[in-house]
């Protein structure tokens, strides 16, 4: 599995400012509707439900919100770069500016965990995060994310 299997070009966006996690989840819901024809309401509700179990801010300005959704046939992802960092109740108490959201079918077991591990490894790479923070073009952001593991796999 590679990030290019999870992340489509239209699933990458730069957002000027999100005023709250809930607002960000609404933005992700709208992106999921456009990219994967998922119900915006289902996406927002699933992300809020997951976040209620514990914050998905993993530290170093990165958040990995994720949820299982009906109607999906494979794991898919969305990436958002926030121009204004957002408080995400992260483990290190740092605001978040890089958000990679993952959505999985309700019955996805190992596939969901493999995707989450892949995204987590990618977003822990300080060089990748520095490149993401240095760019605002969605096409460039998509290339940075999808080429990192393709290069490592070769």
66 catalytic residue (yes or no):
yes
DSSP assignments along 14-80, one per residue: EEEE-SSHHHHHHHHHHHHHHHH---HHHHHHHHHHHHHHS--EEETTEE--EEEETT-SS-EEEEE
| Catalytic annotation, pick one of 26, 66, 112, 149 | 66
Cα 70 from Cα 105, distance rounded (Å): 6
The whole-angstrom separation of Cα 10 and Cα 139 is 9
Contact 10, 78 (CB under 8 A): no
Active-site amino acid positions: 66
């Amino acid at each position: 599995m590679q990030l290019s299997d999870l992340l489509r070009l239209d699933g990458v966006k730069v957002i000027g400012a999100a005023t709250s996690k809930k607002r960000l989840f609404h933005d992700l819901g709208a992106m999921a509707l456009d990219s994967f024809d998922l119900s915006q309401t289902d996406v927002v509700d699933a992300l809020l439900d997951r976040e209620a179990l514990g914050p998905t801010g993993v530290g170093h300005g990165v958040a990995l919100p994720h949820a299982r959704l009906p109607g999906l046939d494979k794991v898919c992802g969305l990436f958002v770069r926030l121009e204004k960092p957002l408080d995400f109740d992260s483990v290190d108490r740092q605001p978040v500016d890089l958000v990679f959201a993952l959505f999985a079918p309700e019955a996805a077991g190992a596939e969901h965990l493999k995707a989450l591990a892949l995204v987590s490894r990618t977003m822990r790479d300080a060089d990748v995060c520095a490149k993401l923070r240095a760019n605002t073009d969605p096409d460039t952001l998509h290339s940075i994310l999808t080429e990192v593991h393709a290069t490592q796999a070769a």
